[in-house]
Amino acid sequence: MRPRHALTALLFLFCGIALAGPDGEPRGAVPGDGAFTAFQEGRPADFTLPAPDGRPVELKQFLGKKPVLLVFWTTWCPNCIEAIPSLNALHAGPLAGKVQILGVNYLETRKKVAAAAKANRILYPVLLDENGKVARAYGVVGIPTYVLIGRTGTIVYREYALPEDIARYL
């Protein structure tokens, strides 16, 4: 195994351990909880999160219009930062307007996220999941996690890597 792949695997393992509760389920995720049940059944959990400028953004304002790609990320995650150019290209490239990207930052301060978004020239909307509630609702146990919600409102993709052939899901 290449050193870079080994390091990436270890990073995912440690992120998963840090985010998971003692029973392996995401912290705060309770079977029977509406959001957790919705995720388990392939339906997206609705949410409202602030952007770094304080403006509230609701998931439901995008649902049913076009697919929505939720990108759960942090400023300290090298794979997250490495993916920004690809996400910017998806946001502004040939598929622009065919998918709505929402970067959901996990547990970091408004100031830190705003600075990282500016420094990395993020073009798509960034939201703050300051208490981790949305990440728990989506069963996130590793960073980055990509969740693609199709036009019909069901989760069609959920992985730790951006699909190379994302157009087939749109």
User: Domain limits of the chain?
Assistant: 3-169
CA distance 166 to 66: 14
Instruction: Note the pLDDT of residue 139.
Output: 94
Half-sphere exposure of 133 (CA within 13 A, CB side): 13
The stretch 68-89 carries a mean pLDDT of 97
Whether residue 37 is predicted with pLDDT greater than 60 in this model: the reply is no
pTM of the complete model: 0.79
Whether residue 69 is predicted with pLDDT greater than 50 in this model: the reply is yes
Residues 6+ apart with CB under 8 A from 70: 102, 104, 138, 146, 147, 148, 149
Instruction: Note the pLDDT of residue 164.
Output: 85
* Fold category of 3-169 in CATH: Glutaredoxin (3.40.30)
Hey, which residues does 126 pair with through a beta bridge? 103
Residues 6+ apart with CB under 8 A from 133: 28, 47
- Higher per-residue pLDDT: 122 or 163: 122
The stretch 67-83 carries a mean pLDDT of 98
Instruction: Note the pLDDT of residue 5.
Output: 47
Instruction: Note the pLDDT of residue 27.
Output: 43
Q: Is 100 helix (H, G, I), strand (E, B) or coil?
A: strand
